[in-house]
Amino acid sequence: MLQKTVVLLALVAQVLMLENGLLRKPPMGWLAWERFRCNTNCDEDPKNCISERLFMEMADHLAQDGWRDLGYTYLNMDDCWIGGRDAKGRLVPDPKRFPNGIAFLADYAHSLGLKLGIYEDLGNFTCMGYPGTTLDKVIQDAQTFAEWKVDMLKLDGCFSTPEERAKGYPKMAAALNATGRPIAFSCSWPAYEGGLPPKLLIGNFGLSFEQARAQMALWTVLAAPLFMSTDLRTISAQNTDILQNPLMIKINQDPLGIQGRRILKEKSHIEVYMRPLANEASALVFFSRRTDMPYRYHTSLAQLNFNNSSMYEAQNVYTGDVISGLHSKTNFTVIINPSGVVMWYLYPIRKLGTPQH
């Protein structure tokens, strides 16, 4: 039986500020929002409410269950942690849910080799109605985050005007920089609606197995940040395998950092995505938007615009199967499940036409 809460990779559709060199590769980690939302009811739901306990338990799992060692190092809080501002105007967390404060949580994350991400909103309130960072609070809040030793800030844009955001986002970037602490900055300005990376499959709470595999493959080929938003205490072995696939992660973190794109959209509702990788390799994702039955897609590398100068080999990223002896003209068939993908890691074996020794 499929678990109700399956994997969710929240696509961070924000602009990732790259100037400070922190986010050259897509960041990886865990974030609270898609799974735990704004659940602040610790009396009735102590295990799942937005609290110190939740983040510490997730940190423990990131460290113990292999996640951190594969690169999932960010532990990202989201909205609903704020209690208010103190007499000096400094942000303070909710005292009941975060009794030891955010600096304690950051220390805890760091002690496990993790990084802590925090959330605020440029505007009068956060999206869920907690105190926001108004323009006059930008510098103070940046300093507070740096003193707490947080490592990433997501700055939302609710309850502000476009003009305020046009001032406030660069101001925050500068204020974070001025603290001297490297803090990765993610924000939604300028709005990249429909831009990069596309919001393909966002927001499905209960994804099927095929959908989860497709989402992971597409996020990876689009070089999108890999943030899982799922309960690491109860995640299934099947979903762990999807998220911990070493070849998938290697492709996501490819050193060239080139974003893949859709190269074909067939009338049969099959789409093909390609991402160029280091060492002349590429990732290919064959994605089916069909809902009927597994589809036999016939193609060749030549039809996918690969040139004829090489012999290729492909490794199926999910099954591990190796397909050898592919010439650009070789016809092959991939069988793609409805809403599913077949993903290949494709690499040249030898140049044709070069002398054999």
Ligand X SMILES: *[C@@H]1O[C@H](CO)[C@@H](O)[C@H](O)[C@H]1NC(C)=O
Amino acid at 93: P
Residue span binding ligand X (CB under 6 A) among the ranges 32-40, 74-82, 155-163, 220-228: 155-163
Query: Is residue 41 close enough to count as binding ligand X by CB under 6 A?
Result: no
Which one, 163 or 292, has the nearer CB to ligand X?
163
**The tokens 């809040």 sit on which residue?**
141
d(CA 119, CA 192): 19
In whole angstroms, the minimum distance from the beta carbon of 251 to ligand X comes to 17
Contact partners, residue 185, CB within 8 Å, separation at least 6 = 16, 17, 20, 152, 153, 155, 172, 173, 176
Q: 163 to 202, contacts with ligand X by CB under 6 A?
A: 177, 180-182
As separate numbers, helices (DSSP H) first and strands (DSSP E) second, the chain gives 9, 18
d(CA 260, CA 244): 21
φ and ψ at residue 342, rounded to 5 degrees: -120, 130
Query: Is residue 308 close enough to count as binding ligand X by CB under 6 A?
Result: yes
In whole angstroms, the minimum distance from the beta carbon of 289 to ligand X comes to 22
**The tokens 């986010």 sit on which residue?**
23
Which one, 92 or 311, has the nearer CB to ligand X?
311
Given candidates 189, 306, 312, 318, which one binds ligand X under the rule CB under 6 A?
Answer: 306
Question: Pick from 245, 249, 246, 202: which is nearest to 8 by CA?
Answer: 202
d(CA 11, CA 14): 9
Query: Is residue 160 close enough to count as binding ligand X by CB under 6 A?
Result: yes
Which one, 62 or 118, has the nearer CB to ligand X?
118
Task: Answer for the pair 273, 284: CB distance below 8 angstroms, yes or no.
Answer: yes
> In 3-state terms, the chain is what percent helix, strand and coil (to 5)?
25, 25, 45
Dihedral sign for Cα 171, 199, 252, 235, please: positive
Bridge partners, 342 (sequence order): 286
Contact code string over 316-335 relative to ligand X, x by CB under 6 A? -------------x-x----
Query: Is residue 309 close enough to count as binding ligand X by CB under 6 A?
Result: yes
Which one, 199 or 350, has the nearer CB to ligand X?
350
Question: Pick from 65, 173, 186, 57: which is nearest to 117 by CA?
Answer: 186
In whole angstroms, the minimum distance from the beta carbon of 70 to ligand X comes to 26
Which one, 182 or 198, has the nearer CB to ligand X?
182
In whole angstroms, the minimum distance from the beta carbon of 134 to ligand X comes to 7
Query: Is residue 124 close enough to count as binding ligand X by CB under 6 A?
Result: yes
In whole angstroms, the minimum distance from the beta carbon of 149 to ligand X comes to 13
Which one, 22 or 42, has the nearer CB to ligand X?
22
Which one, 256 or 352, has the nearer CB to ligand X?
352
Which one, 194 or 325, has the nearer CB to ligand X?
325
DSSP H or E stretch at residue 248: helix 246-252
Instruction: Pull the structure tokens for residue 133.
Output: 């960072």
In whole angstroms, the minimum distance from the beta carbon of 88 to ligand X comes to 20
Given candidates 1, 19, 319, 357, which one binds ligand X under the rule CB under 6 A?
Answer: 19
In whole angstroms, the minimum distance from the beta carbon of 330 to ligand X comes to 7
Residues that bind ligand X (CB under 6 A): 19-20, 124, 159-161, 177, 180-182, 306-309, 329, 331, 352-353
